[in-house]
């Protein structure tokens, strides 16, 4: 059976109900400050990934859909960033067989803008998130930036505005 309703569309339909709502305390403020960014990830462990984005990036769960027909999802938001995490029973690990997503065809990195890269990296370090690559200084053709990994190894590049 194909899931034909996008998670965000279903979220708006279910907004008036308490079905699927998750109350997750957000102990820290969101680290990103953007005018609007979104990415979605297929993950093996929805709870672990949701916890990582809540604890490490300070996002808040705004919608949670419990497993139905082998499909579950969580949408998190904060600081202008929205992240959709999806778990499907039939999903398989990356067939590329490498821990470096850039060695596989398809998306391998997402990016967000922050006001102060140094302060953001300090806060990430305090939350136990190491820098995977960088930080790289501003260049005439490049913003200052650094790359981190989420709990599943996905690259997130952080650019200074």
- pLDDT for 44: 92
CATH classification (class only), 20-90+99-160 = alpha beta
Whose tokens are 């993950």? That residue is: 43
Q: What φ, ψ does residue 102 adopt, rounded to 5°?
A: -70, -10
Q: Where are the alpha helices (DSSP H) in 58-143?
A: 117-126
What is the rounded distance in angstroms from the CA atom of residue 158 to the CA atom of residue 31?
10
pLDDT in tens, 25-71: 545 777 776 677 899 999 999 999 999 999 999 999 999 999 999 99
Residue 49: predicted pLDDT: 96
Residues (pLDDT < 70) of the chain are 1-27, 33-34, 105-106
Domain ranges of the chain: 20-90+99-160
pLDDT of amino acid 3: 32
CA angle 132, 160, 47 (to 5 degrees): 50
Cα gap 4→150, rounded to integer Å: 28
User: Taking Cα atoms as reference points, which of 82, 103, 100 lies closest to residue 32?
Assistant: 82
Q: Output the pLDDT for position 87.
A: 94
C-alpha distances out from residue 11 to 21, 62, 63, 118, 134, Å: 10, 9, 7, 35, 37
């Amino acid at each position: 059976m194909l899931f034909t309703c996008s998670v965000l569309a279903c979220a708006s339909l279910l907004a008036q109900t308490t079905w699927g709502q998750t109350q997750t305390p957000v102990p820290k403020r969101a680290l990103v400050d953007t005018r609007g960014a979104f990415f979605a990830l297929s993950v093996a462990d929805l709870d672990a990934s949701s916890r990582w984005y809540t604890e490490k990036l300070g996002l808040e769960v705004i919608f949670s859909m419990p497993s139905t027909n082998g499909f579950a999802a969580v949408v998190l938001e904060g600081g202008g960033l929205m992240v959709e995490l999806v778990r499907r029973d039939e999903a398989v690990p990356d067939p590329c067989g490498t821990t470096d997503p850039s060695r596989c065809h398809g998306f391998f990195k997402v990016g967000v803008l922050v006001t102060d890269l140094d302060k953001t990296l300090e806060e990430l370090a305090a939350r136990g998130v190491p820098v995977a690559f960088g930080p790289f200084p501003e260049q005439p053709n490049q913003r200052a930036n650094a790359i981190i990994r989420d709990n599943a190894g996905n690259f997130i590049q952080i650019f200074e505005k």
